[in-house]
Chain A
Amino acid sequence: SQKIEQNSEALNIQEGKTATLTCNYTNYSPAYLQWYRQDPGRGPVFLLLIRENEKEKRKERLKVTFDTTLKQSLFHITASQPADSATYLCAPLPTLGRLYFGRGTQLTVWP
């Protein structure tokens, strides 16, 4: 069965540094991959989508890569800020559009 793994449950970094979150998937080949942010007590919020034929996508301080050979996506937040503290979820989508999530990585950015 398909499996989605996100690196370590928690990541703590200092303000100003780059946060790098990892998403690995097995047993299927998604055509798209989405990243979401979730704050405590709230539903996830969409951040970025990257397609299988795109190597990299950027949006402001966010950068996502998609390596279909390694079956991995990396999510980077540059110049991180305490307001970036949240849980980040990845969702590799098969072409049928089934939206399955990994368990998430909790990011804490300290001043």
Chain B
Amino acid sequence: EAGVVQSPRYKIIEKKQPVAFWCNPISGHNTLYWYRQNLGQGPELLIRYENEEAVDDSQLPKDRFSAERLKGVDSTLKIQPAELGDSAVYLCASSLGGSRQNTEAFFGQGTRLTVV
């Protein structure tokens, strides 16, 4: 069974340009997370979905970041416009969710974004 799939793997863009990341979670997983990870730091939660509902987006910079999870399956994370400080690895994770909120999360390999 395929794990969490993210694309692209790498992205280099100029500042002020838009960029989008895509995530396909494990089939049947209701909970989907987006994280940002800077070098030497732990993953920072940006947004969490339970099915198609965003239930925790308190750390999402809403002036330039947006996310959606149509039909409660795939998700996209967008940055517009990108800034130099947005350079990081963006990780997507999924878990069974629902009442089983303590279950493990499965992560994709991430998208490494470089803003120049």
Contact = CB atoms under 8 A, between A and B. Distances in A.
Interface stretch (A13-21, A70-78, A95-103): A95-103
Contacts of B65: none
Interface in A20-46: 31-32, 34, 41-46
Contact of A93 (B35, B40, B44, B102): B102
Interface string B71-109: 000000000000000000001010101000111111111
Contacts of B95: 99
A43 B45 contact: no
Given A45-B107, A99-B105, A104 B93 contact: no
Interface string B12-34: 00000000000000000001010
- By Cβ-Cβ distance, the 4 closest A-B pairs, closest first, are A97-B101, A43-B107, A46-B104, A101-B42
Contacts of A89: 42-43
Interface residues of A, number: 26
Contacts of A31: 102
B42 A103 contact: yes
Interface of B: 4, 31, 33, 35, 40-45, 48, 56, 91, 93, 95, 97, 101-110
Contact of A98 (B41, B56, B93, B106): B56
B102 A97 contact: yes
Given A49-B102, A96-B101, A43 B93 contact: yes
A9 interface: yes
Contacts of A9: 40
A43 B40 CA distance: 14
A98 B35 CA distance: 12
Nearest to B106: A46
B105 A46 contact: yes
12 contacts: A31-B102, A42-B110, A43-B4, A43-B109, A44-B93, A46-B106, A96-B101, A98-B45, A101-B42, A103-B42, A104-B41, A104-B42
